[in-house]
Chain A
Amino acid sequence: MGVHHMPKKLKVVGKDVPVLDAREKVTGALEYGVDYAVPKMVHGKILRSTIPHGRIKSIDSSKAEALPGVLGVVTHEDSPDLDWIGVWDNYRGKVLDGIARFVGDEVAAVAATTEKIAEQALALIEVEYEVLPAVLDVRKALLDDAPQVREEGNVRDEYRVVWGDGKTGEDESDHIVELEIQFKAQNYAGIGRNACICDWNGEKVTMWTSSQTPSELQSGIHQAFGIPMSSVRVVALPSGCSFGLWWSNNFMMLTAMLAKKIRKPVKIELTSQECMAAVKRRHIEITTGRMGVSNDGQITLADFSHLMDNGAYGFKTDVYFFCCDLWGGAKNGDYRVRGVSTNLVTSGCMRAVGDITMGLAVERLADMCAEKVNIDPVDFRMKNQIKSGQQLRMQEPRQHMKGTLTEYVDKLTDVQKEGWPEMFHLSSGSTHELLRQGAEKFRFKERWKGWGKPSSVNGSKHRGIGVGTGAHCCGVEFGGNTSSVVRVNHDGSVNVFSSCGRQGQGSETTLSQVAAEELGVSLDMVNIVTGDTDAMPWSSGSSASTTMFRTGWATRAAAKDAKKQILRIAAIEYFDSDDPETLDIQDGIIRSQNPEDNRNVSLEEMMNVLCSDSLAQTTVITGRPDEVMPPTIAFARQWAAQFTEVEVDVETGEIRILEFLAGQDSGTVVNPKVLKNQVIGGAICGAGFALYEGIEFDENDGRVLNDGLLDYKLLRTGDFPSDAEVFFVESPDPVGPFGARGAGESPAAAAAPAICQAVYNAIGVWVDVPMTPEAVIRALNER
């Protein structure tokens, strides 16, 4: 059963403890992929395509192989004839297949004694291409006569969410507004590069690399090379910020190919240009939408068509857009998404995938509707956004391995579903309380001057306020379930084994807090392994805002299981065979829950006795989840509502963010410091997307032109108010650990609409993102 109650006051969860690796990070002791080295390691470099589309007619590496210091070259001829699938279909294909699909695509790789020799050798590899026509335009890629990027064709199946009836919606609308907006691809642009080391020793493959998804990477190697998972050990190292970039990437497979060929550990370290132009990016997305509203402010129609490009190797059919749940109060909805391949660098899931783009288009149309009926944006959201307990919209058609999720859930027995929240209904939280409290803190109603009206004007400086909302899932089951193992040692200390990423989001800390809380020990007694697949159970990694909710649930369930075992033995050994359910562990002491019962034994003593007792059947206690987690996609969401004031210079188009207030409902806050960091980081990511960020592709060959931070403009801390405030609404989740839910993505989704709306209010004209100074001036001139 999935419902957890809170029987006691929390001692570790909810505490503002610093992240456990803070000291290592600050002193530089923490080793990331690029820092890591193993004995006898040699170096690899990747040869990349110079054309957007071509079949390799011949590839001659003999000159490269003859260069002193070169240990081996791999080409598509060395590649196994096996497809591997990256996390959430962010990659699908062979490691190499003799076709170059974008400028920068991997063509071959060299291993040498030094990185410099490897690089020199690249220049000696002669490749002859049969040049194929390329498709660089997302809309053109849809056409029947477009060059086909993949064997499967360019166009993926349409994904559709429908409720109500569009015609009825039109009839009920007093106003219908429309827009078409094309979003540039955002670059992950994480600070910090990545490297991969692989050792192929006998039948055992070991890989060290920064990854958010250790288990999926293990699966990927298994698929790509057709070897048993038991032969694959991934040691996932912490990454710098990742935002979805470092999951299971093909350059890791290429490293493994080199290691297999030369039988020495090989390290491929990517340059910052490779990280920004040859791995992955957010999709280019085009939203066409219509929204209808009746004069009382009720959304009557939401009709959206969304096109996203998968680049060369992405294979997604949709972009997980939870905006249709967020605006679930709409009476009639029809959301359609198509994915299409292009000869551009692969695209994939980046933080707030779908919701930062399509969600922004939905928010803008909603704002346009609100203006038509003259309702302020806070009230309009409260009226039309989903409330706790209401039906969710988008999970209905989702595919599960056993059919649709609906079919899957329908087939479950009542016993299996016992204690589950109502499926396909929102279990807890919403934007309502965030909007109410946020509007009060921001004094929104006092400051609101009306749609398209600045809050103040001083010469060329126009100020405006805005509010935006965002939602996202708290993990999705379809990529695999989560698990954790908790081991209690002889001294009462605890090891947690949870496969997840460490991309700065603090999971090592928050998962340890969950285990400590459940087991009744202090945090310093807990140590966690997050990266080593030889030690950890397979678990869906840190993607889709999974970790706190689902891996946290699994960690708590594993700790409960360990605790149950401990208390069962303790009851016999120390508590006269009392019912173990009457016992508890608090501060490392096993005692009765009855305060008048003074019997007690320390966890350490109990565990020591267990170990030294030759009749005992175990030495340490190992706990694992022994209950079923309900499919979270069918009930759990995270919520953000953010308020801002901006200043627009109407002569130059420059925008400054003056004030920012971010409200977050992620259920119980396990660690306020960690969550605040997530929320502000997300808001800055969304704000960057609103103001400056966007990949520029060469119109002739599709190469990434702004492949460095000189011209890919990330917001700096100086671009965001240093006094930005965060507040939490803690609607406890019925399933999540101690009531916690996911957090990483909704804050990124809420920031862009808040800033766009504020700019609109400041200058009276909507500006498409990125709202660069020039884009603002253009919009003003076109008014």
Chain B
Amino acid sequence: MANNFEYLRPTTMGEAVDMKSSHGARAQFWAGGTDMMLQWKAGITDFDYCIDLTYVPDLDQIALDGDQLRIGAMATLDDLDLQSGLHPLTEALGETARMMCTKQTRTLATIGGNLCNASPSADLSPPLAAMGAQARILGPDGERTIPLTEFFTGVRKTALADGEMLTEIVVPDVGGDVAASYNRVARTVVDIALVSSAAFIKLDSSGKITKAGVALGAVAPTVVRVNKAEDLLIGCSLKEAANGVANKAGEHAIATANAITDIRASKEYRTDMTSVLTQRAIGRCVAILEGNG
């Protein structure tokens, strides 16, 4: 049975970081608590200080800021769903959020918590990674921003150093014609992904793909980007992307995957599905950009 802990309630980001710095590894941030509570009860995690971020203002915004999409770490999965209409990319992220857990849990679970939990099967990692999202981190030495793909360093491991907290996810360069899609295989309506893939496409004014992202979930310790698939897509028309290129991108996905066998699925199945799901994600992006989404 888990130990007791001291509950701390900072009201500014600075205060939160100070608390974390002074208590070091014996302290943990509390966001929505939906993963952490279970881990605490099961004895997987153990801490003496719980720093509740709920009362720190301005951490839960989801907004467009120029050509950036900014998502506060304390925004909930339900907020993401509710903000679907904000932008084509929040449309994709909202759809992703709706695949996650249940409405009740989504009202508690936060985006930052989901990312900091650093599960290989986390649903938000592939679409955000495909979009080229960045993680804004605040620590005792100030602020830094790193690509989300570098934020994850292993299973349940992140690049956060002692005293640091994730404050925001920033997706840069979201103006113009963009689309994203996340696809996964799961068992029941409430499940974590057995395998997943996300795609992101941005068009230039001539209708050619100028930026592309493909990212896979649950096939490696962290989310992985399929660079060769992205390179293939850049410069293509939507028609080319849909006819043939998507298929080749799927083959690159298979080559990139480094899946394992566990009780949820086998390595072979996961690997094969990366191709199907990547093709579907690209196909969906094309359909959205062609106005058939």
Q: Which residues of A contact B (CB under 8 A)?
A: 115-116, 119, 651-654, 691-692, 696, 705-706, 710-711, 713-716, 718-719, 772-774, 777-778
A653 to B187, CA, bound (A): 10
The reply to whether A652 and B273 contact each other, CB–CB distance below 8 Å, is: yes
The reply to whether A774 and B188 contact each other, CB–CB distance below 8 Å, is: no
Q: Given contacts A696-B263, A706-B263, A773-B194, is CB(A715)–CB(B188) below 8 Å?
A: yes
CB distance from B1 to the nearest CB of A (A): 5
As a 0/1 sequence over residues 183 to 199 of chain B, the CB contacts with chain A under 8 angstroms (1 = contact) are: 00101111110100000
A692 to B191, CA, bound (A): 12
User: Which residues B222-244 have CB closer than 8 A to chain A?
Assistant: none
Cβ contacts A to B, 29 pairs, < 8 Å = A651-B276, A652-B273, A652-B277, A653-B185, A654-B185, A691-B187, A692-B188, A696-B263, A710-B192, A711-B263, A713-B188, A713-B191, A714-B188, A715-B188, A716-B188, A716-B189, A718-B188, A718-B190, A719-B188, A719-B189, A772-B187, A773-B187, A773-B194, A773-B269, A774-B266, A774-B269, A777-B269, A777-B272, A778-B269
A691 to B194, CA, bound (A): 15
The reply to whether A692 and B187 contact each other, CB–CB distance below 8 Å, is: yes
CB distance from B247 to the nearest CB of A (A): 13
| Additional A-B contacts beyond A652-B277, A718-B189 (12; CB < 8 A) | A651-B276, A652-B185, A653-B185, A692-B187, A692-B188, A706-B263, A713-B188, A716-B189, A716-B190, A718-B188, A718-B190, A774-B266
Nearest-CB residue, chain B, relative to A273: B42
As a 0/1 sequence over residues 154 to 198 of chain B, the CB contacts with chain A under 8 angstroms (1 = contact) are: 000000000000000000000000000000010111111010000
Answer yes or no: B264 CB below 8 A from chain A CBs. yes
Nearest-CB residue, chain A, relative to B192: A710
The reply to whether A713 and B192 contact each other, CB–CB distance below 8 Å, is: no
Q: Collect the chain B residues with CB atoms within 8 Å of residue A716's CB.
A: 188-190
Residue of A119, A692, A772, A774 with most partner-chain B CB within 10 A: A774
CB distance from B277 to the nearest CB of A (A): 8
Answer yes or no: B146 CB below 8 A from chain A CBs. no
Nearest-CB residue, chain B, relative to A712: B263
User: Which residues B1-50 have CB closer than 8 A to chain A?
Assistant: 1
Answer yes or no: B265 CB below 8 A from chain A CBs. yes
Q: Collect the chain A residues with CB atoms within 8 Å of residue B272's CB.
A: 777
Q: Collect the chain A residues with CB atoms within 8 Å of residue B188's CB.
A: 692, 713-716, 718-719
A666 to B185, CA, bound (A): 39
As a 0/1 sequence over residues 65 to 78 of chain B, the CB contacts with chain A under 8 angstroms (1 = contact) are: 00000000000000
Q: Collect the chain B residues with CB atoms within 8 Å of residue A774's CB.
A: 194, 265-266, 269
Q: Collect the chain B residues with CB atoms within 8 Å of residue A115's CB.
A: 1
A445 to B273, CA, bound (A): 36
A692 to B276, CA, bound (A): 22
A119 to B1, CA, bound (A): 7
Q: Collect the chain A residues with CB atoms within 8 Å of residue B269's CB.
A: 773-774, 777-778
Nearest-CB residue, chain B, relative to A778: B269
Q: Collect the chain B residues with CB atoms within 8 Å of residue A652's CB.
A: 185, 273, 276-277
A57 to B273, CA, bound (A): 51
Residue of B188, B263, B276 with most partner-chain A CB within 10 A: B188
CB distance from B184 to the nearest CB of A (A): 9
Nearest-CB residue, chain A, relative to B264: A711
Nearest-CB residue, chain B, relative to A114: B1
Residue of A651, A706, A715, A718 with most partner-chain B CB within 10 A: A651
A706 to B265, CA, bound (A): 13
A778 to B269, CA, bound (A): 9
As a 0/1 sequence over residues 269 to 291 of chain B, the CB contacts with chain A under 8 angstroms (1 = contact) are: 10011001100000000000000
A777 to B265, CA, bound (A): 12
Sorted from nearest, which 8 A-B pairs have the closest CB atoms? A718-B189, A774-B269, A713-B187, A696-B263, A651-B276, A116-B1, A713-B188, A719-B188
